[in-house]
Amino acid sequence: GSTNAPSSGGVTTISLKVMVGGLNKQIYLPNMLAQRLGYFKDQHLDVTLIDEGSGQASEEEVVAGNVDAGSGAYVHPMVLNTQGKKIETICQFGIAPGEAEVVDASLSNITSAKDLKGKNLGVTDLGSGTHVLTQAILGSAGVDPTSAKYVAVGAGDTFIAAIQQKKIAAGMTTFPTISRLVNSGKGKILVSLLTPADTRAALGGDYPFIGVFAKNDWVNSNKDAAQRLVNAYVKTLKYMHSHTAAQIADQMPTDYYAGDKSSYVSDLQSQLAIFGTDCKMPSGGPETVQKIQQQFVSSFKGKSANLSETYTNELADKANA
Amino acid sequence: MSALGEQAVRTGPDLAGRRRREARRRQLNVIGGRVLVAVVILGGWELGARATVIDRFFWSQPSDIAATLWRWFTEGTDLGPLWLQVLVTMEETVGGFVVGSVFGVIFGVVLGRNRLLSDVLGPYIKGANAIPRVVVGALFAVSLGLDIKAKIATAAVLVFFVVFFNAFQGVREVDRNLIANARILGADDRRLTTEIIIPSALSWIVASLHTSFGLALVGAVVGELFGATEGIGELIYLSKNLFDTAGVFAGMALLAATALVAEALITALEDRLIRWRPPVATETRI
Amino acid sequence: MSALGEQAVRTGPDLAGRRRREARRRQLNVIGGRVLVAVVILGGWELGARATVIDRFFWSQPSDIAATLWRWFTEGTDLGPLWLQVLVTMEETVGGFVVGSVFGVIFGVVLGRNRLLSDVLGPYIKGANAIPRVVVGALFAVSLGLDIKAKIATAAVLVFFVVFFNAFQGVREVDRNLIANARILGADDRRLTTEIIIPSALSWIVASLHTSFGLALVGAVVGELFGATEGIGELIYLSKNLFDTAGVFAGMALLAATALVAEALITALEDRLIRWRPPVATETRI
Amino acid sequence: MTPAIELRGVTKRFLAPSGGIYTALRDLNFEVEPGEFCAVVGPTGCGKSTTLALISGLEPPSEGEVEVFGQSVGGIAEGIGYVFQSDAVFPWKTVLENVAAGPRYRGVSNRDARERARDWITRVGLAGFEDRYPYQLSGGMRKRVALAQSLINGPRILLMDEPFSALDVQTRTLMENELLNLWSATSASVVFVTHDLEEAISLSDRVFVITAGPGTVKSTYKVDLPRPRNVAEIRFQPRFVEIYEEIWKDLRDEVLVSYERQKRGAA
Amino acid sequence: MTPAIELRGVTKRFLAPSGGIYTALRDLNFEVEPGEFCAVVGPTGCGKSTTLALISGLEPPSEGEVEVFGQSVGGIAEGIGYVFQSDAVFPWKTVLENVAAGPRYRGVSNRDARERARDWITRVGLAGFEDRYPYQLSGGMRKRVALAQSLINGPRILLMDEPFSALDVQTRTLMENELLNLWSATSASVVFVTHDLEEAISLSDRVFVITAGPGTVKSTYKVDLPRPRNVAEIRFQPRFVEIYEEIWKDLRDEVLVSYERQKRGAA
Ligand SMILES: Nc1ncnc2c1ncn2[C@@H]1O[C@H](COP(=O)(O)OP(=O)(O)OP(=O)(O)O)[C@@H](O)[C@H]1O
Ligand SMILES: Nc1ncnc2c1ncn2[C@@H]1O[C@H](COP(=O)(O)OP(=O)(O)OP(=O)(O)O)[C@@H](O)[C@H]1O
Ligand SMILES: [Mg+2]
Ligand SMILES: [Mg+2]
């Protein structure tokens, strides 16, 4: 819940809890950056960022009302909508997934998504976003997604170990796992979903990924707080596009690039393009996501969400005005 | 009793018969009690969910869970036929259970017998016990590969400590009179261990096995976080990621059922091994 | 001994003094052994890592781990000062440990005493034991909120089963002669439980506490998977996500150290509670 | 007058390891009057301890009826003291706590219970050992703790299973006299199991001889020696010797039967 | 000739619960010749069991020297049989397995061990009970299992701690005779603890009387009765009665000291 306390300036400071599905992951970077830049405080918000190991749990906590807002993939509000749980994205950071299908570099015979047919493919977890995206790139390349075998390998060192041990031929993952593999020559990027352009090429449209969402009820009854939150995020996104990766990295906690700042900066450099500038949902994005869900996720087959309930650009519009 | 051809007794009703009837009534009471508990829990849950006191999104409801189980049973799961998932998880679990309890017993007995060794290694083992199994699971996945070995290892680690500490204590609880007697009778270290220490510590070890099988299942499921393509754990994770709460609970129900079958086997083993005890029949009387 | 003013003995060396010296030498042996084990493990690890036999990316190396610990110690961690992380995790752990073991003992004793109840509830408890704590932790995070309650609950669940099964078995192992005697002497059910059953089952219960504290730590760390902002577990996850293997191991070292401190306390408690045993001094002799 | 203890046609069977049934007592009839001191003798393994277990309610009979003060026994009977054949003192209690347990269980305040316990500890000759744990006592001392533990409750029925067998003769004589004093003051009914016929006669009003094999009462003997008795002296009275000879013949036959049978191997 | 057992200036102290030290044995000197049958008598709690524990090597002396066949004892001594005062049969073994344990531990084949065990089970009068577990036996039967368990090993030194105290007189006499037969055939050295002076005299070559309090040898008595003896008859020989009277006076004083002291409360 949110508590209000009068602050010196006459504007009440609002306390908010925001749960983030992996604070230190670069695709979630605007959360911590806004905090470090003091943009929340500027809006008289006292935001607690709560780190969360797995993505889906942050949506659940939003639904359960244990936190005010969550940061995660857009697809979750959509899925929840079909189950009667109404949460909406109020700020969309990422207009591309920021993931890539990385292939074992020693497998020279795999040169495109078509060659993944019948292979073992790594995903962080069955049913997760990486699973859906992998099926989508196969489907878009004209390969039957069910012909491949999906292996839950997590992320980080277990993913790298899976490639090394030839347990998987390729897998969907993010930075810094991507750069670890590429820099060491163990892997190379087969299909990139790292920029909007690449994503459009691979999936046939924008794929809105990480954003900030809250319950529709909460947004409606806490308009002011929601607006201030979006204001802070819009300002953060603008900051990101007006500063270099190195400058942004300087703002982040040192542990985030423990010992290896240069690779952190270069990872960030190659990722900055996935971030929007205005918190708005890219037009056509929700439809692309829904189409992919309907095609590839068996439990979503035959279902459709009321897309207009799953996001709002209203707050972003005001913040940008 | 009279079938034994003994003379009829002058007075008093047939107490043996009475006690047989009592035993039968007790059996019925137990079954009735179990059913009652199930009905209260499941019924309350179902009604609560229907009355929206319980949020079905988070807690599902028994009828949905049953439907999911039925679907898995008849149509198979998303990961393949149900029996395959159960089989995979069982292999990992039994492997982990066996490896973990064998090592647990060996270490427990050896350290329990050897004061110096236990003093030296004790702190390391106790410290290691505090290391989160989820992290260990990831390390195993990295070092042992992502196949069944890593899952067995994760399950084994969970089992090991529980069995170890019990076996260790069981060994130290052995009646000193009996050890003295065996020594005097000429038992060497090996005999002492196999014929005195282990039988005497057996109820300790078996008690730990009761917890252990459940823990081995848990370990196998944790192990399936990494590098799995099938298994009950994988089924649970998949359901969870799809916000299919009924699937999550159905998976847990499968685990519970598996554990109960294993429990029955362990109990049978226990009854065989500890035949030298006074029978439990009179237990209720005192 | 001679300080007691007793007359000098005719023959034989001062055996008591000899045994005192032996005890001191044993103590030195133990410390030497511990250091040796540490040196072998850590030294081998360090050398292996330096010789790239061990992949530092996956396994880090002791010097890096020590450096990380030192940095946390002197500069604080990314989540705040180190003592705060330790404190947070300790609160969760101790909470879970206390709650889990209290419930474990109560259920164990009650079910151990009551045959019908244990027959009725047994299968449910055994089944519940097989439910993966990671899943349970997520359920707690949803239903109990994201504060310390959910973490305590997760830790408590891990502890509960281990303590329960041991307390249960401990109760059933109580010497039937002693129960009979207490009954005859007029003990009612309450007295029987507090004065006979529990003291007698104490070594069982205490044995389970040895495992339990470690498990409570594990539970707290698992609980920190969900909605934590600080704690040793959070530190480990953060490090893991950042490929900072040294940080992961440093976190585990912290957990191990914490467990050892708690262990020492439990052992002290044990020695106090089980004073009525023959002293362990002669244990090595038989 | 209803007898204090009555066993009517009691049979007790145990499951033998082979799965068969072993009959320990067969058709046992046995009556103890209120205030009577009875001794039970018989060859080892004849079922003496089992008989006491039946009276106390610790074991149910397989057939027949056990009554205490006219009430059918269906659990631990009230007002009973029982000195077990095997060690049953509580290892985690000191001597003082062990002896004080009974009164405390019966609602006496902690202080009073300890006071009475001290008195009893002195009576059984253990003063100064109050703070010892059982493992720190000798076999005979543990037995005396058990004795004090039972007697302190002033039971109406006192079952004693070879209580003095671990004591040296002198201590034993002292304890026997102590027991007689106590008994005459309380008029409890006593069933005293012993393998020492002298002891049986010098203490009791009546001696039951139990047969070998499935135990049953072979014969009972009235001991018509005057009370109060001094057990150290009574053995030299001619009437004592007479009674002794009489019972001894009877008993010896039984013991021989038992011994021979076991030698031949009848289970 | 080196004695079979020699205790020189042995003191044994225990930690008292108060933290102080309790002296169980003080400056005990004690010698048993090879093939000699010695009995030890003394008031309860005087340290008889402790003495046996020292000889067996189960307990180390606090001061002084314990030697068996000239070798200083520093652990469980070889070739010793020990019948413990308290139950020490293995509850998870049947009677047969219990008795066969010793030979098996000493390398006899399973079959032979069982055969010998059967023989011994018959000798102690337990034929037919081979398959029983200890909880299915009476107190006296368990004691006999313990006896067979020790004797089957043919020990050179036999320590017996009140082995017959749970047996009825007749069985006891039979067992005593059996013991004497066995002993004369093997010429083992026996230390026999008992609280029954008659038993002590009728069995042994020498009787040690231990003092109350911190135990030490008060006096030793040679029993110059001819062998072979029949314990049932020997008690009626005048020389027996003489010896009895002599030792009894000595012993009674000790017992009284012990009893009085305990009554006053000296720990
Ligand atoms: N639980 C049991 N299962 C099988 N047999 C038993 C059990 N308890 C006792 N018995 C048998 O019952 C018989 C009588 O035993 P009980 O203990 O009453 O003998 P007792 O007369 O007290 O002998 P003792 O003088 O040696 O103590 C014995 O043969 C014994 O083996
Ligand atoms: N572990 C111990 N700690 C303290 N005191 C002990 C310990 N063991 C024995 N004692 C004491 O030593 C003394 C001698 O004990 P021991 O068992 O040798 O007597 P005993 O002569 O065998 O007596 P009994 O005839 O009653 O068996 C007793 O006073 C006893 O309380
Ligand atoms: Mg008996
Ligand atoms: Mg003794």
3-state secondary structure B85-132: HHHHHHHHHHHHHHHHHHHHHHHHHHHHHCHHHHHHHHHHHHHHCCCC
Sheet holding A99-104, edge to edge: A149-152, A120-123, A170-173, A99-104, A187-193
CB nearest C240 (choices: A25, A48, A156): A156
**Interchain pair B181, E153: CB under 8 A:** no
B126 vs A132, D6, D17, D265, CA distance in Å? 43, 59, 43, 54
Do C24 and C129 share a structural domain?
Answer: no
Taking the CB of residue C270, how many other CB atoms lie within 10 A of it? 18
- The answer to whether residue B99 scores a pLDDT higher than 90 is yes
Q: What is the pLDDT of residue C250?
A: 92
Q: What is the pLDDT of residue C36?
A: 93
Measured distance CA(A189)–CA(B110) in Å, rounded: 52
Q: What is the mean pLDDT of residues C74-99?
A: 89
Q: Is E62 in the pocket of ligand 2 (CB under 6 A)?
A: no
The closest-lying atom of ligand 1 relative to the alpha carbon of residue D17 is: 4
Phi, psi of D5 (to 5 degrees): -130, 135
Q: What is the pLDDT of residue B7?
A: 35
Those residues with Cβ within 8 angstroms of residue B85's Cβ, 6 or more apart along the chain or in another chain: B77, B79, B230, B231, B232, B234, B235, B254
Do C169 and C268 share a structural domain?
Answer: yes
- Tell me the three state secondary structure of residue E28: strand
CA-nearest residue of chain B to D56? B286
Do B45 and B6 share a structural domain?
Answer: yes
**Interchain pair B277, E135: CB under 8 A:** yes
Task: Write out residues with Cβ below 6 Å of ligand 1.
Answer: D 14, 22, 24, 44-50, 85, 195; E 135-141
For A215-238, what is each residue's pLDDT tens digit? 998 999 988 889 999 999 999 999
Nearest to E103 by CA among E148, E145, E153, E147: E153
For B117-134, what is each residue's pLDDT tens digit? 888 888 888 888 888 877
Lowest mean pLDDT across B216-225, C232-241, D89-98, E62-71: C232-241
Do C117 and C29 share a structural domain?
Answer: no
Q: What is the mean pLDDT of residues D207-232?
A: 87
pLDDT class of D46 with cuts at 50, 70, 90: confident
Residue nearest to atom 1 of ligand 2 (CA): D136
Q: What angle, 0 to 180 degrees and rounded to 10, lies between the N-to-C axes of helices B245-273 and B232-241?
A: 160
Q: What is the mean pLDDT of residues D127-155?
A: 87
Angle (CA) D205-D210-D212 rounded to 5° is 160
Do B68 and B44 share a structural domain?
Answer: no
- The answer to whether residue B4 scores a pLDDT higher than 80 is no
Q: Report the CATH number at residue B242.
A: 1.10.3720.10
**Interchain pair D44, E138: CB under 8 A:** yes
Q: Domain span at residue C13?
A: 2-54
Phi, psi of C242 (to 5 degrees): -95, 10
C97, with CB counted inside 10 A (0-12, 13-18, 19+), is buried
Taking the CB of residue D261, how many other CB atoms lie within 10 A of it? 17
**Interchain pair D86, E87: CB under 8 A:** yes
Q: Number of structural domains, chain C?
A: 2
Q: What is the pLDDT of residue B280?
A: 46
Distance from CA of A207 to the nearest CA of C (A): 24
Residue matched to tokens 């050398």: C47
Q: Do D30 and D55 meet the contact criterion of CB atoms below 8 Å apart?
A: no
Amino acid sitting at position B54: I
Q: What is the pLDDT of residue C7?
A: 35
Which mutation among E130, E135, E137 tests ligand 1's pocket best, with the greatest number of atoms within 8 A of CB?
Answer: E137
Q: What is the mean pLDDT of residues D4-30?
A: 83
- The answer to whether residue B10 scores a pLDDT higher than 60 is no
CA quadruple D128, D131, D134, D136: dihedral, nearest 10? -70
A39 vs A30, A225, A232, B26, CA distance in Å? 11, 14, 5, 69
**Interchain pair D21, B4: CB under 8 A:** yes
Measured distance CA(C155)–CA(C231) in Å, rounded: 14
Do B144 and B21 share a structural domain?
Answer: no
Q: What is the pLDDT of residue B11?
A: 33
**Interchain pair B227, A162: CB under 8 A:** yes
CB nearest D84 (choices: C181, C199, C276): C181
Which of C54, C72, C92 is a domain's end point?
A: C54
Do B161 and B229 share a structural domain?
Answer: yes
Do B247 and B108 share a structural domain?
Answer: yes
Residue nearest to atom 8 of ligand 1 (CA): E136
- The answer to whether residue E99 scores a pLDDT higher than 90 is yes
Long-range contacts of B256-262 (CB under 8 A, 24+ apart): B256/C127, B256/C128, B256/C130, B256/C131, B257/C127, B258/B86, B258/B89, B258/B90, B258/B93, B258/B217, B258/B232, B258/C130, B259/B213, B259/B214, B259/B217, B259/C126, B259/C127, B259/C129, B259/C130, B260/C123, B260/C126, B260/C127, B262/B97, B262/B213
Distance from CA of B112 to the nearest CA of D (A): 22
For E10-49, what is each residue's pLDDT tens digit? 998 887 656 667 888 999 998 999 989 999 998 888 889 9
DSSP A145: G
In order along its 321 residues, chain A shows pLDDT tens digits of: 444 455 455 678 888 889 888 787 888 889 999 999 999 999 899 998 888 766 667 788 888 888 899 988 888 888 888 888 889 999 998 888 888 999 988 888 888 888 888 888 988 888 888 888 898 888 888 888 888 888 888 877 788 888 888 888 999 988 878 888 888 888 989 988 888 888 888 888 888 988 999 999 899 998 888 999 999 999 999 999 899 999 998 888 877 776 678 888 988 888 888 888 888 888 888 888 888 888 888 778 888 888 888 888 888 888 887
Q: Do A74 and A285 meet the contact criterion of CB atoms below 8 Å apart?
A: yes
Best-predicted range by mean pLDDT (B83-87, C267-271, E69-73, E124-128): B83-87
Residue nearest to atom 25 of ligand 2 (CA): E44
Q: What is the pLDDT of residue C11?
A: 33
Measured distance CA(A79)–CA(A128) in Å, rounded: 12
Comparing E172 with A69, the larger pLDDT belongs to A69
- The answer to whether residue B77 scores a pLDDT higher than 50 is yes
Q: What is the pLDDT of residue E262?
A: 61
Q: What is the pLDDT of residue C1?
A: 35
- CA D162–ligand 3 middle distance (angstroms): 8
- The answer to whether residue B269 scores a pLDDT higher than 80 is yes
Do B142 and B47 share a structural domain?
Answer: no
Nearest to D57 by CA among D35, D80, D31, D75: D75
Measured distance CA(B12)–CA(A201) in Å, rounded: 94
Which mutation among D89, D133, D137, D172 tests ligand 2's pocket best, with the greatest number of atoms within 8 A of CB?
Answer: D137
CA quadruple B262, B267, B270, B274: dihedral, nearest 10? 180
Q: Which chains touch A (3 or more CB pairs under 8 A)?
A: B, C
Q: Do A139 and A121 meet the contact criterion of CB atoms below 8 Å apart?
A: no
Token couple for A6: 């009068």
Measured distance CA(C195)–CA(A243) in Å, rounded: 73
- The answer to whether residue C6 scores a pLDDT higher than 50 is no
Those residues with Cβ within 8 angstroms of residue B180's Cβ, 6 or more apart along the chain or in another chain: C286, E56, E58, E82, E84, E88
Q: What is the mean pLDDT of chain B?
A: 83
- Tell me the three state secondary structure of residue E66: strand
Residue nearest to atom 27 of ligand 2 (CA): D139
The domains located in chain E, with CATH, are 5-79+155-266 (3.40.50.300)
- ipTM score: 0.84
The closest-lying atom of ligand 1 relative to the alpha carbon of residue D47 is: 18
Q: What is the pLDDT of residue B5?
A: 33
Comparing B227 with B149, the larger pLDDT belongs to B149
- The answer to whether residue D39 scores a pLDDT higher than 90 is yes
CA–chain centroid gap for D217, Å, is 16
Greatest extent of chain B over all pairs of C-alpha atoms, in Å: 77
Comparing C2 with E62, the larger pLDDT belongs to E62
Single pTM value for the model: 0.85
Exposure of E22 in the CB half-sphere (CA atoms within 13 A): 20
Do C206 and C101 share a structural domain?
Answer: yes
Q: Do C241 and A22 meet the contact criterion of CB atoms below 8 Å apart?
A: yes
Measured distance CA(B235)–CA(A126) in Å, rounded: 8
pLDDT class of C135 with cuts at 50, 70, 90: confident
Q: What is the pLDDT of residue E113?
A: 92
Measured distance CA(D120)–CA(D89) in Å, rounded: 15
Nearest to D91 by CA among E144, B177, E50: B177
- The answer to whether residue D18 scores a pLDDT higher than 70 is no
Do B71 and B20 share a structural domain?
Answer: no
Nearest to E92 by CA among B194, B176, D14: B194
Measured distance CA(C230)–CA(C241) in Å, rounded: 15
Measured distance CA(D112)–CA(D63) in Å, rounded: 43
Q: Do A125 and A154 meet the contact criterion of CB atoms below 8 Å apart?
A: yes
- The answer to whether residue B281 scores a pLDDT higher than 90 is no
Q: Do D and A touch, counting CB pairs below 8 Å (3 needed)?
A: no
Measured distance CA(E156)–CA(A179) in Å, rounded: 80
Alpha helices in chain E (DSSP H): 48-56, 95-105, 110-123, 139-151, 169-186, 197-203, 231-234, 238-264
- Tell me the three state secondary structure of residue A62: helix
Q: Do A47 and A268 meet the contact criterion of CB atoms below 8 Å apart?
A: no
Interface residue of C45, C55, C120, C277 to substitute, partner B, most B CBs within 10 Å: C120
CA quadruple C124, C126, C128, C131: dihedral, nearest 10? -150
Element (H, E) at D56: helix D48-56
Taking the CB of residue D74, how many other CB atoms lie within 10 A of it? 10
For C16-65, what is each residue's pLDDT tens digit? 566 677 778 888 888 999 999 999 999 999 999 888 888 887 788 899 99
Measured distance CA(D126)–CA(E262) in Å, rounded: 5
Q: What is the pLDDT of residue C5?
A: 33
Which ligand sits nearest to residue E195's alpha carbon?
A: 2
DSSP B24: H
In chain C, the DSSP E strands lie at: 226-228
Q: What angle, 0 to 180 degrees and rounded to 10, lies between the N-to-C axes of helices B82-113 and B232-241?
A: 120
- Tell me the three state secondary structure of residue B5: coil
Distance from CA of D225 to the nearest CA of E (A): 23
Token couple for B66: 């049953």
Nearest to B226 by CA among A131, C222, A153: A153
Do C43 and C151 share a structural domain?
Answer: no
- The answer to whether residue E3 scores a pLDDT higher than 50 is yes
Q: Which chains touch C (3 or more CB pairs under 8 A)?
A: A, B, D, E
